[in-house]
Amino acid sequence: MTATKKASSKKKPITDDEIISVYMDQVLQHNAEPKNVYQFCQENKIVESDFYAFYGSLEALKQDIWLKFFENVKIQWRRIRIMILILTKTNYLRCIFH
């Protein structure tokens, strides 16, 4: 008897951002939300336990999407405010030294 070695196919663990991306793509492609976690995971080849490591339900996933949108807006707004301050000071200094 010959023992055959199983090819070790270690998958990179999925992240919450990847789950969000897959969810948003699926909703856009099907124009509908998945009916349940099982269906969502099966259709997107996600291990269900990996999904549950981040989210307890699809509702929790949707809430996290909105939270991440809000956090991104806050970050972008801070960057814009900094740029405005820099540009304002730069223009102010140009007016003084010209």
Residue 7 lies in a domain: no
Predicted TM-score (pTM) of this structure: 0.70
Digits of tens for pLDDT over the chain (98 positions)?
555 555 445 678 899 999 999 999 999 999 999 999 999 999 999 999 999 999 999 999 999 999 999 999 999 999 988 888 888 877 666 666 65
How many whole angstroms separate alpha carbon 66 and alpha carbon 85? 29
Domain count of the fold of the chain: 1
Residue 28 lies in a domain: yes
How many whole angstroms separate alpha carbon 63 and alpha carbon 16? 12
19: number of Cβ within 10 Å = 22
Q: Domain of 48?
A: 16-97
Residue 2 lies in a domain: no
Residue 45 lies in a domain: yes
Residue 37 lies in a domain: yes
